[in-house]
Structure 1
Amino acid sequence: MKTSFLRIFAILMILIGICALLYPIVGNYLANRDRSEAIDQYNKEMKHMTKKERDKNIELAERYNQAIYDRQQGNGSQIPIDYNGFLANQNVMGTIDIPALKISALPFYHGTSYKTLDKGLGHFEPSSIPIGGKNTRSVITGHSGMKNQVLFSEVRNLKEGDIFFINILGEKLAYEIESFEEVLPSEVDRVAIEKGKDMVTLLTCTPPGINTYRLLVNGHRIPYNEAVKKKVVRRNLLSYQVIVLASLSFCLVLFIILWLLYRHYRKQIATENKKLVRRYRKKLNRLVKVIKLLFVGLLIAMVGVLCYAIYGFTQMQQNAEFGEINVGEQQELYTYNADKILKGNYDERQIRSVNVADYSEALGSFQKNVNEWGIGRLVIPSVSIDIPILSGLSNTNLLNGAASYRQDQELGKDNYVLMSHNLVGASALLTAIDQLKKGDKMYATDFKTIYTFEVTDNKVIKETDVDVIKKTPSEQLTLLRCEGDIGTKYRRLVQGKLTKEVLVKEATNQELDQVRVTKNSQSDGTMIPDNPITYKSQFGMNLASSILSDPVQTVVPLFLLLLFPIIILGLLR
């Protein structure tokens, strides 16, 4: 009786756990079903809309968009704009398709009220109505991280060059993603119309669940025929839904097979044929042993995965070790800097918050990125920092080394500013600069000259203290990173004054060793000839970042597989 009760209780707990895993999937399905009904109604209304009604709505939208543009330019009239007059008798304003996320006909509605965003996407009223045309920028908003709906939760996985479509008034408009930005909720001017452009911006909260910032996914209009020819790359193949359903399906199929075998063996054992009973009793015992071995094997595999993830995590705690750099007998490597600096992207708007998964991905392209954008090397012996200096503020640069802040800055002259992302809990990049003391040495080279700086200041500042990045009459080095976790408004600032400079061609071996450069042979412009990130390390880092950034996707299948033989053994007893 006690055993039966425990078995029932265990099965009940397992069913509750499975229901909890399926809740987000079922909730999203029901929400999509409700939206499908709204879309069907919208399509019917579009089908029966007369040309006169359509032209009237287009005219109203154009007047509205012109008024929005004029108002943003500071010369708009104060006459109220009839926003709700556009498609006034319809619930849905339009729909959006994002092929890379397998989103099709996701409706967006008038306004961004709580009630509107709870059922789908919303059109930001102070922005253009998305009918296209010059001097327009429509903003479509949606939630991220909701328990029962996906909506815009996966737009952060998109990449520059991906396509999305706006379907409105029977027209299909194509937009190509050109940039990502993270802004504060108060920075409404960051979605202002850009003169002469036809743009749509997808807006959502970030990071999901914290919602400190707003993620802007900016797209510009391209010809529809050109858009449909572009190759679609799926950005959400390993979504929560895929992981959970695949794991449950595998367990269910295996359960059915083992259960049928068990029932067959039990049926044969129940016969009066003693020879047959002995044979199938042995088979039943072997089946139980196989299930026990399956449990042990899965347990070992799970421990192995976790150990490998720990190994990957330790690899992420340190900067990539890329050895000495050959600058060439005549410092040929320096001659490549000018072109890299000229091509660098120094737009601060592209900087966004990152997580360990982003860092792991960036390390995967470390060699390529450094060879493409590397213009120097920064070494701070007292805190074991040895990272490349990279031109431009791309997020990949900020995750692979110290990124140069301005195009016109020059190492050894006025204020040379370097930045990097901060990874809480890791010791990579510029994380350790908070340990620097006054007088500590910092060495930097542009492959022509070796500069020595002495730390003069180390403090925490607010992100609004922009004077520290301005040009100065004295030669100094400025290092900046975030101070604190995602969403922080504080920055760690380290500044050092220039105390010495020596040309590479005149440097002693000791001075060359300080920045780990050699000048043994002619350089072809390659900073790192061999990839310092091995496949083993990269796989471990990817595994660790997956567990840390989204533990459900990794732990759920392992947990279900581990739980499966326990359930079977409990039922077979």
Structure 2
Amino acid sequence: MKQTKKTHKLLIILLFIIGAGFICYPIIKNTVTIINIKEQEITETKVFPQAVSENEKIELPTAESYLTASKEDINDAVGQLSIPSVKIETPLFAGLHNQELLYGAGLMYPERSIEKDNIVVLGHHLGISDLLLGNLTKVSLHDKIHLRLLDKTYQYTIIEKKQVHEEDIEVLANTPSPQLTLITCDEPTITDQRIVVTAKLEEEKSAKQSLSTVKAAEQKNKQELVRKSFIKYSLRPILLVLAVVTFGSWCIWRYV
């Protein structure tokens, strides 16, 4: 009788742990994503590419996307996108290519001129707000955006933020005056809604620091965001789940 009761307890604990494992899947996915973004070394070109391959149909990133990503399929970045008010700091690539969008944002029309055109930048919303363009949903009017392209940095001021349907291509059209258009999904899932942020060009910022110093500061900011994301979205949830599983298993063994 005692042996049967012990077996039942072990079975209940096993089912409890399996259930906790299913709950842990989003945590595991976040951990894989964060570690891959942290470990992936993004190099940067010194010359803007003369030819850029065609834009790809953008796919929703998954944990498998990061596990199977190949460094050989990732071209050099052409700059950096920064929005200090919401802690966005991400590499900028020429064109929209799924492998590169796992690690940064992409220029939809790399042939357009910053001084004259509408520069359209797309990036993923991973559900990990501090990475890629996840925090774009939190920007406010008049926030500043810094876009560095090769060795030049441009400053923009946000003048509009709206949500549109994915088929609303009007936001992609060129404009008579220079502006920046940032686009990401409204949620980190398959969705037909997009967050669109429009900013006007204010100035080309003069270099007060050397380019190497600027890049070092950008890299430091990125690593700090990744570290905080790991603590918030991976370490804390994992410790919480372990504590719940341990306490729950003890309660089952003690009282059931």
- TM-score, structure 2 length as denominator? 0.67
After superposition, give the CA deviation of every residue in 1:184-227 in whole Å (9 maximum; x if it has no partner).
xxxxxxxxxxxxxxxxxxxxxxxxxxxxxxxxxxxxxxxxxxxx
In 1, are the aligned partners of 2:48 and 2:150 still within 8 Å (CA)?
Answer: no
Which residue of structure 2 aligns with residue 346 of structure 1? Answer: 55
Aligned residue pairs total 217
After superposition, the Cα gap between the structure-2 partners of 1:369 and 1:439, relative to the gap in structure 1 and judged at 3 Å, is farther
Note the C-alpha offset of 1:466: 0.8
In 2, are the aligned partners of 1:318 and 1:427 still within 8 Å (CA)?
Answer: no
Q: Structure 2 counterpart of 1:509, which letter?
A: K
After superposition, the Cα gap between the structure-2 partners of 1:360 and 1:424, relative to the gap in structure 1 and judged at 3 Å, is farther
Taking the aligned partners of 1:322 and 1:412, their CA distance within structure 2 comes to: 32
After superposition, the Cα gap between the structure-2 partners of 1:509 and 1:470, relative to the gap in structure 1 and judged at 3 Å, is same
Note the C-alpha offset of 1:321: 9.5
Taking the aligned partners of 2:116 and 2:159, their CA distance within structure 1 comes to: 17
- Say whether 1:509 aligns with 2:198: no
In 1, are the aligned partners of 2:137 and 2:186 still within 8 Å (CA)?
Answer: no
Which residue of structure 2 aligns with residue 316 of structure 1? Answer: 34
- Say whether 1:475 aligns with 2:178: yes
Taking the aligned partners of 1:322 and 1:500, their CA distance within structure 2 comes to: 32
Q: Structure 1 counterpart of 2:60, which letter?
A: S
In 2, are the aligned partners of 1:378 and 1:387 still within 8 Å (CA)?
Answer: yes
Which residue of structure 2 aligns with residue 412 of structure 1? Answer: 115
In 2, are the aligned partners of 1:319 and 1:386 still within 8 Å (CA)?
Answer: no
After superposition, the Cα gap between the structure-2 partners of 1:5 and 1:389, relative to the gap in structure 1 and judged at 3 Å, is closer
- TM-score, structure 1 length as denominator? 0.32
Taking the aligned partners of 2:202 and 2:129, their CA distance within structure 1 comes to: 31
Note the C-alpha offset of 1:400: 0.9
In 1, are the aligned partners of 2:32 and 2:66 still within 8 Å (CA)?
Answer: no
After superposition, give the CA deviation of every residue in 1:53-99 in whole Å (9 maximum; x if it has no partner).
xxxxxxxxxxxxxxxxxxxxxxxxxxxxxxxxxxxxxxxxxxxxxxx
Taking the aligned partners of 2:128 and 2:78, their CA distance within structure 1 comes to: 28
Residue identity (%): 26
Which residue of structure 2 aligns with residue 355 of structure 1? Answer: 62
SS in 2 for 1:410: coil
Note the C-alpha offset of 1:409: 2.1
In structure 2, stretches of 5+ residues that fail to align are 239-244, 250-256
1:171-570 matches, cutoff 5 A: 313=31, 316=34, 320=38, 334=46, 336-339=47-50, 342-347=51-56, 349=57, 351-359=58-66, 362=69, 365=71, 372-502=75-205, 507-509=206-208, 516-517=214-215
Taking the aligned partners of 1:449 and 1:489, their CA distance within structure 2 comes to: 34
Note the C-alpha offset of 1:450: 2.0
Taking the aligned partners of 1:403 and 1:447, their CA distance within structure 2 comes to: 14
After superposition, give the CA deviation of every residue in 1:358-384 in whole Å (9 maximum; x if it has no partner).
24655x74xx666x2311211211112
Note the C-alpha offset of 1:408: 2.7
After superposition, give the CA deviation of every residue in 1:391-438 in whole Å (9 maximum; x if it has no partner).
121111211111111243233331101111111244200111122111
Note the C-alpha offset of 1:338: 2.7
Q: Structure 1 counterpart of 2:199, which letter?
A: G
Taking the aligned partners of 2:92 and 2:146, their CA distance within structure 1 comes to: 12
Q: Structure 2 counterpart of 1:397, which letter?
A: E
In 1, are the aligned partners of 2:33 and 2:63 still within 8 Å (CA)?
Answer: no
- Say whether 1:6 aligns with 2:2: no
SS in 2 for 1:477: strand
In 1, are the aligned partners of 2:157 and 2:199 still within 8 Å (CA)?
Answer: yes
**Higher helix content, 1 or 2:** 1
In 2, are the aligned partners of 1:318 and 1:426 still within 8 Å (CA)?
Answer: no
In 1, are the aligned partners of 2:161 and 2:195 still within 8 Å (CA)?
Answer: yes
In 2, are the aligned partners of 1:381 and 1:441 still within 8 Å (CA)?
Answer: yes
Greater radius of gyration (CA):
1
SS in 1 for 2:59: coil
In the TM superposition, structure 1's runs of 4+ consecutive aligned residues that sit over 6 Å from their partners are 11-15
In structure 1, stretches of 5+ residues that fail to align are 22-301, 328-332, 519-527, 549-558, 564-573
SS in 2 for 1:412: coil
Taking the aligned partners of 2:152 and 2:110, their CA distance within structure 1 comes to: 19
Note the C-alpha offset of 1:472: 0.9
After superposition, give the CA deviation of every residue in 1:536-572 in whole Å (9 maximum; x if it has no partner).
x9xx9xxx7xxx9xxxxxxxxxx9xxx9xxxxxxxxx
Note the C-alpha offset of 1:462: 1.1
Taking the aligned partners of 2:181 and 2:55, their CA distance within structure 1 comes to: 16
After superposition, the Cα gap between the structure-2 partners of 1:508 and 1:435, relative to the gap in structure 1 and judged at 3 Å, is same
After superposition, the Cα gap between the structure-2 partners of 1:318 and 1:384, relative to the gap in structure 1 and judged at 3 Å, is farther
Q: Structure 2 counterpart of 1:470, which letter?
A: A
